[in-house]
Chain A
């Protein structure tokens, strides 16, 4: 029986996300190679589920089975309970956003028309489709002047943004991203990742994201599925659990050696005990202080430098973290940037809220290790 599926557009499903269910899915090639072996998992509505693993672990194959770029040999994949195998592939794909590694933009079309690809396919009015495309260019942080350019005129990072805009054009509830940021340089990658998280906090799509980079998986994933070679699921957990309780030796090794440090990024620095009595004004430097370090601040409480009362002429650098927003890893990082060993907590205007001393950091770290 062929069931119709509305895709992610139209009044019936407007804005609503979908759950993706893998039910004992296996992909076996004619030569006997098993790419995905009996995979069962759920990619929950409105969350980012990351498939991560070494090459040959079947992560991309698993992703591509969702929009039927590859068909499963056994088992089924359900979108809100409807088996994807019962949906005509082009219809299915028009309702699912798809971002690939090299962006895959159409070189002969202007950026605006690239973004409007799916709306055009869905038969939207040309003007409406282009208006929507312009709106999306802004959403992904591209200058509207880019709209009239061709893909070859854009940098790799810009092309990748267009790729994301194109995937979002028809407002699909589901987004599939296949190593979308692995071909751009690390700085651009970080900013693309940050913007994806920001976008996701506004859009709440059901996202399946494939990467071979465990740091990317931990940064982006609400849930991370670690796959091992041969397409078997090694562990499915939220990043914090993954780092603190790896299921086995394979996962532990794949996570790398500094997982203790990385786990700190899931612990908020908001609980750090801050001292407010360690700041002094530039001209009010006390000659007789028992404190080993004091922080000089401007009249509007911006940090200037650390000084030690023993050598008041020497200014030492400071590190800051955003009070209430940043995590323990950032706070520790800020402390290590300064010879004082203290981290400066600032608010969003850059003004000093307080100082986390070594003792305060020690307490917080001891607590973190307890978890």
Chain B
């Protein structure tokens, strides 16, 4: 427990470019950037494949790659290829890591909508895009948000590895702490990362509450 008070009680840890606020901001920056890019790629792709039923193989490949690709290995590879002048070597592996959960869940969410419902929507005279936007997406939203949440938590946790290649983020406390045997820093950094992940989880729960129709979540009685 001393480690925690040592770490959080030290005023030096709260200021400057290596302080907690700055590292937190960097961590946030990498995570958000990676997640936004992943969303821009995976959501449209998932909607398209789920709605048209064509290209399902892409989803399968993506889901399998997610298990096979070592994040750390990719990070090293991209650092070797691109150098450390930009944050790209960190962002690219994070994006690749977060695409599969979003893609798979979006696809499954859309494809899993009751065929009768899809049929009724077309039968009422909705056009293809209207069926997707007005019926399939609202009904599939819980699964789509689940994919987003899984990705976000994964990204927040994995952004830690940015510190390996000298970039910022909360991982610096952990990695640097190990290197200099300052275990207060290791523990404090870990706690911060865990808290961050919990906040993300909470944020998504709130988003789900607000955006998913009570008719779909069946929350009311």
Chain A interface residues toward B at CB < 8 A: 67, 69, 89-95, 98, 100-110, 117-118, 121, 150-153, 166
Question: Which of under 10, 10 to 19, 20 to 34, or 35 or more describes the interface residues of B?
Answer: 20 to 34
CB contact between B116 and one of A69, A102, A110 (< 8 Å): that residue: A102
User: Could you say which residues of chain A place their CB within 8 Å of the CB of B116?
Assistant: 100-102, 104
Q: Which residue of A lies closest to B122 (CB)?
A: A69
Q: Which residue of B lies closest to A95 (CB)?
A: B125
User: Does B80 count as interface, using CB distance less than 8 angstroms?
Assistant: no
- Alpha-carbon separation in the docked complex, A106 to B124 (Å): 11
The 6 closest A-B pairs by CB, nearest first: A104-B120, A150-B215, A94-B125, A108-B213, A93-B125, A98-B123
Q: Would you mind naming 16 contact pairs between A and B with Cβ atoms under 8 Å apart?
A: A67-B123, A93-B123, A100-B119, A104-B121, A104-B123, A105-B120, A107-B117, A108-B215, A108-B216, A109-B215, A110-B215, A121-B124, A150-B215, A150-B218, A150-B220, A152-B215
Q: Given A69-B123, A90-B126, A118-B125, check contact A109 B117 (CB 8 Å).
A: no
- Alpha-carbon separation in the docked complex, A321 to B126 (Å): 48
Asked if B215 contacts A151 (CB within 8 A), the reply is yes
Asked if B117 contacts A106 (CB within 8 A), the reply is yes
User: Could you say which residues of chain A place their CB within 8 Å of the CB of B221?
Assistant: 153
- Alpha-carbon separation in the docked complex, A152 to B220 (Å): 10
User: Could you say which residues of chain B place their CB within 8 Å of the CB of A100?
Assistant: 116, 119-120, 123
B97-138 residues with Cβ-Cβ distance < 8 A to A are 114, 116-117, 119-127, 130, 134-135, 138
- Alpha-carbon separation in the docked complex, A98 to B119 (Å): 10
- With A105-B120, A150-B218 known, 16 other A-B pairs at CB within 8 A are A69-B123, A89-B122, A89-B125, A90-B127, A92-B125, A93-B122, A98-B123, A100-B116, A100-B123, A104-B120, A104-B123, A106-B215, A109-B213, A118-B124, A121-B130, A152-B215
User: Could you say which residues of chain B place their CB within 8 Å of the CB of A106?
Assistant: 117, 120-121, 134-135, 138-139, 215
Asked if A93 contacts B124 (CB within 8 A), the reply is yes
Q: Which residue of A lies closest to B141 (CB)?
A: A108
Asked if B124 contacts A166 (CB within 8 A), the reply is yes
- Alpha-carbon separation in the docked complex, A92 to B127 (Å): 11
User: Does B214 count as interface, using CB distance less than 8 angstroms?
Assistant: yes
User: Could you say which residues of chain B place their CB within 8 Å of the CB of A67?
Assistant: 123
Looking at the assembled complex, report how far the CB atom of A100 sits from the nearest CB atom of chain B, in whole angstroms. Answer: 6
Contact with A along B187-215 (1 / 0, CB 8 A): 00000000000000000000000000111
Chain B interface residues toward A at CB < 8 A: 114, 116-117, 119-127, 130, 134-135, 138-139, 213-216, 218, 220-221
User: Could you say which residues of chain A place their CB within 8 Å of the CB of B139?
Assistant: 106-108
Q: Given A100-B120, A101-B116, A107-B117, check contact A150 B125 (CB 8 Å).
A: no
Looking at the assembled complex, report how far the CB atom of A29 sits from the nearest CB atom of chain B, in whole angstroms. Answer: 18
Asked if B119 contacts A150 (CB within 8 A), the reply is no
- Alpha-carbon separation in the docked complex, A257 to B119 (Å): 37
Looking at the assembled complex, report how far the CB atom of A168 sits from the nearest CB atom of chain B, in whole angstroms. Answer: 12
User: Could you say which residues of chain B place their CB within 8 Å of the CB of A101?
Assistant: 116
- Alpha-carbon separation in the docked complex, A93 to B124 (Å): 6
- Alpha-carbon separation in the docked complex, A111 to B127 (Å): 21
Asked if A108 contacts B138 (CB within 8 A), the reply is yes
User: Could you say which residues of chain B place their CB within 8 Å of the CB of A151?
Assistant: 215
Q: Which residue of A lies closest to B131 (CB)?
A: A90
Looking at the assembled complex, report how far the CB atom of A207 sits from the nearest CB atom of chain B, in whole angstroms. Answer: 15
Looking at the assembled complex, report how far the CB atom of A162 sits from the nearest CB atom of chain B, in whole angstroms. Answer: 11
User: Could you say which residues of chain B place their CB within 8 Å of the CB of A95?
Assistant: 125
- Alpha-carbon separation in the docked complex, A308 to B103 (Å): 81
Asked if A69 contacts B119 (CB within 8 A), the reply is yes
Q: Which residue of B lies closest to A113 (CB)?
A: B215
- Alpha-carbon separation in the docked complex, A152 to B214 (Å): 10
Asked if A107 contacts B216 (CB within 8 A), the reply is yes
Asked if B125 contacts A90 (CB within 8 A), the reply is yes
Q: Which residue of A lies closest to B113 (CB)?
A: A107
User: Could you say which residues of chain A place their CB within 8 Å of the CB of B123?
Assistant: 67, 69, 93, 98, 100, 104
User: Could you say which residues of chain B place their CB within 8 Å of the CB of A92?
Assistant: 125
User: Could you say which residues of chain B place their CB within 8 Å of the CB of A108?
Assistant: 135, 138-139, 213, 215-216
Q: Given A69-B119, A104-B116, check contact A98 B215 (CB 8 Å).
A: no
Residue from the set B125, B214, B221 with the largest chain A CB neighbour count within 10 Å: B125
Asked if B213 contacts A98 (CB within 8 A), the reply is no
User: Could you say which residues of chain B place their CB within 8 Å of the CB of A89?
Assistant: 122, 125
- Alpha-carbon separation in the docked complex, A91 to B125 (Å): 6
- Alpha-carbon separation in the docked complex, A92 to B123 (Å): 10
Looking at the assembled complex, report how far the CB atom of B190 sits from the nearest CB atom of chain A, in whole angstroms. Answer: 40
Q: Which residue of B lies closest to A107 (CB)?
A: B215
Looking at the assembled complex, report how far the CB atom of B210 sits from the nearest CB atom of chain A, in whole angstroms. Answer: 14
Looking at the assembled complex, report how far the CB atom of A353 sits from the nearest CB atom of chain B, in whole angstroms. Answer: 48
User: Could you say which residues of chain B place their CB within 8 Å of the CB of A121?
Assistant: 124-126, 130
- Alpha-carbon separation in the docked complex, A100 to B118 (Å): 12
Looking at the assembled complex, report how far the CB atom of A54 sits from the nearest CB atom of chain B, in whole angstroms. Answer: 22
Asked if A117 contacts B124 (CB within 8 A), the reply is yes
- Alpha-carbon separation in the docked complex, A69 to B123 (Å): 7
Asked if A107 contacts B213 (CB within 8 A), the reply is yes
Looking at the assembled complex, report how far the CB atom of B110 sits from the nearest CB atom of chain A, in whole angstroms. Answer: 14
User: Could you say which residues of chain B place their CB within 8 Å of the CB of A107?
Assistant: 117, 139, 213, 215-216
User: Could you say which residues of chain A place their CB within 8 Å of the CB of B214?
Assistant: 150
Q: Which residue of B lies closest to A118 (CB)?
A: B124
